[in-house]
Amino acid sequence: MARASQSFTCTACGATASKWAGRCDSCGEWNSLAEDLPGDGPAPVLQLKKKQAITLSSLATEEAEAPRIISGIAEFDRVCGGGLVPGSALLVGGDPGIGKSTLLLQATAALAARGVRAIYISGEESGAQVKLRAKRLGLAGAPVELGIETRLGSILATVEKPTKQPPGILVIDSIQTVMADAIDAAPGTVSQLRGTTQELVRFAKRSGWTVILVGHVTKEGQIAGPRVIEHMVDTVLYFEGDRGHRFRILRGVKNRFGPTDEIGVFDMTGNGLEEVANPSALFLAGRRDNSSGSVVFAGMEGSRPVLVEIQALVAPTSLGTPRRTVVGWDSGRLAMVLAVLDTRCNLSLSSCDVYLNVAGGLRIYEPAADLAVATALISSYCNVAARFDSAVFGEISLSGEVRTVAQSDKRLKEATKLGLTHAIVPAGTNAVARTMSLQQVEMLNDLVDSFLIQADGHTAESQDARTPHENNNR
**CATH number of the domain encompassing residue 352:** 3.30.230.10
- Please give the average per-residue pLDDT across 20-38, as a whole number: 81
pLDDT at 176: 92
109 and 143 belong to one structural domain: yes
242 and 376 belong to one structural domain: no
300 and 376 belong to one structural domain: yes
Last residue of a domain, one of 220, 246, 277: 277
126 and 30 belong to one structural domain: no
pLDDT at 226: 65
Task: Kindly report, residue by residue over 96-142, the tens digit of the pLDDT.
Answer: 889 999 999 999 999 999 999 999 999 999 999 999 999 999 999 99
DSSP secondary structure code for residue 361 in this structure: G
269 and 306 belong to one structural domain: no
Task: Kindly report, residue by residue over 53-107, the tens digit of the pLDDT.
Answer: 888 888 886 766 768 999 989 999 999 999 999 999 999 998 888 999 999 999 9
Last residue of a domain, one of 277, 306, 321: 277
267 and 287 belong to one structural domain: no
pLDDT at 50: 64
Amino acid at 127: G
Closest CA to 352 of 312, 386, 399: 312
In angstroms, rounded to a whole number, what is the distance separating the alpha carbons of residues 106 and 72? 10
Could you give the angle at the alpha carbon of 216 between the alpha carbons of 212 and 217, nearest 5°?
125
Residue 189 pLDDT greater than 90, yes or no: no
Share the mean pLDDT of the chain.
87
pLDDT at 46: 47
382 and 445 belong to one structural domain: yes
Is residue 384 a part of any domain in this protein?
yes
Closest CA to 215 of 184, 183, 245, 253: 253
Is residue 152 a part of any domain in this protein?
yes
Q: At what angle do helices 331-343 and 444-456 cross, to 10 degrees?
A: 70
In angstroms, rounded to a whole number, what is the distance separating the alpha carbons of residues 378 and 449? 10
In angstroms, rounded to a whole number, what is the distance separating the alpha carbons of residues 196 and 225? 12
DSSP secondary structure code for residue 189 in this structure: S
Question: Residue 471: helix, strand or coil by DSSP?
Answer: helix
pLDDT at 360: 84
Is residue 373 a part of any domain in this protein?
yes
416 and 456 belong to one structural domain: yes
Closest CA to 155 of 127, 175, 129, 128: 175
Residue 464 pLDDT greater than 80, yes or no: no
In angstroms, rounded to a whole number, what is the distance separating the alpha carbons of residues 196 and 309? 43
Is residue 61 a part of any domain in this protein?
no
113 and 210 belong to one structural domain: yes
- Entry pTM: 0.78
Last residue of a domain, one of 277, 302, 318: 277
Closest CA to 44 of 182, 137, 150: 182
302 and 441 belong to one structural domain: yes
- Total domain count, the chain: 3
Task: Kindly report, residue by residue over 293-340, the tens digit of the pLDDT.
Answer: 999 999 999 889 999 999 999 999 888 889 999 999 999 999 999 999
Task: Kindly report, residue by residue over 256-271, the tens digit of the pLDDT.
Answer: 998 888 999 999 998 8
Contact 313, 355 (CB under 8 A): yes
Is residue 147 a part of any domain in this protein?
yes
In angstroms, rounded to a whole number, what is the distance separating the alpha carbons of residues 127 and 136? 14
Instruction: Count the neighbouring beta carbons within 10 Å of the beta carbon of residue 51.
Output: 5
pLDDT at 457: 62
Q: What are residue 267's DSSP bridge partners?
A: 247, 274
User: Any idea which of 172-176, 183-187, 193-197, 272-276 has the lowest mean pLDDT?
Assistant: 183-187
pLDDT at 221: 63
Which position has the higher pLDDT, 290 or 134? 134
Is residue 53 a part of any domain in this protein?
no
Q: In what order do the strands lie in the sheet with 352-358?
A: 324-327, 352-358, 304-316, 294-301, 390-392, 422-426, 437-441
Is residue 242 a part of any domain in this protein?
yes
Closest CA to 139 of 158, 124, 118, 125: 118
Task: Kindly report, residue by residue over 446-462, the tens digit of the pLDDT.
Answer: 999 999 988 876 444 44
- Please give the average per-residue pLDDT across 188-194, as a whole number: 87
Q: Which are the contacts of 4, defined by CB distance < 8 A and separation ≥ 6? A: 38
243 and 304 belong to one structural domain: no
Q: Which are the contacts of 215, defined by CB distance < 8 A and separation ≥ 6? A: 91, 92, 93, 174, 175, 176, 223, 224, 225, 229
Percentage of the residues of the chain whose pLDDT score is greater than 90:
59
Task: Kindly report, residue by residue over 362-411, the tens digit of the pLDDT.
Answer: 899 999 999 999 999 999 999 999 999 999 999 999 999 999 999 999 99
Q: 4: pLDDT confidence band, cut at 50, 70 and 90?
A: low
Is residue 56 a part of any domain in this protein?
no
Residues of the domain holding 1: 1-35
In angstroms, rounded to a whole number, what is the distance separating the alpha carbons of residues 45 and 29? 29
Buried b / exposed e over 327-352, threshold 16 CB at 10 Å, is ebbeeebbebbbebbbebbebbbbeb
The CATH number of residue 100's host domain is 3.40.50.300
pLDDT at 470: 47
Amino acid at 446: D
Residue 48 pLDDT greater than 60, yes or no: no
Task: Kindly report, residue by residue over 197-256, the tens digit of the pLDDT.
Answer: 999 999 999 999 999 999 988 766 677 666 778 999 999 999 988 777 788 999 999 999
Contact 340, 445 (CB under 8 A): no
298 and 416 belong to one structural domain: yes
In angstroms, rounded to a whole number, what is the distance separating the alpha carbons of residues 144 and 246? 27
Query: Which residues of 367-466 form beta strands (DSSP E)?
Result: 390-392, 395-396, 402-403, 422-426, 437-441
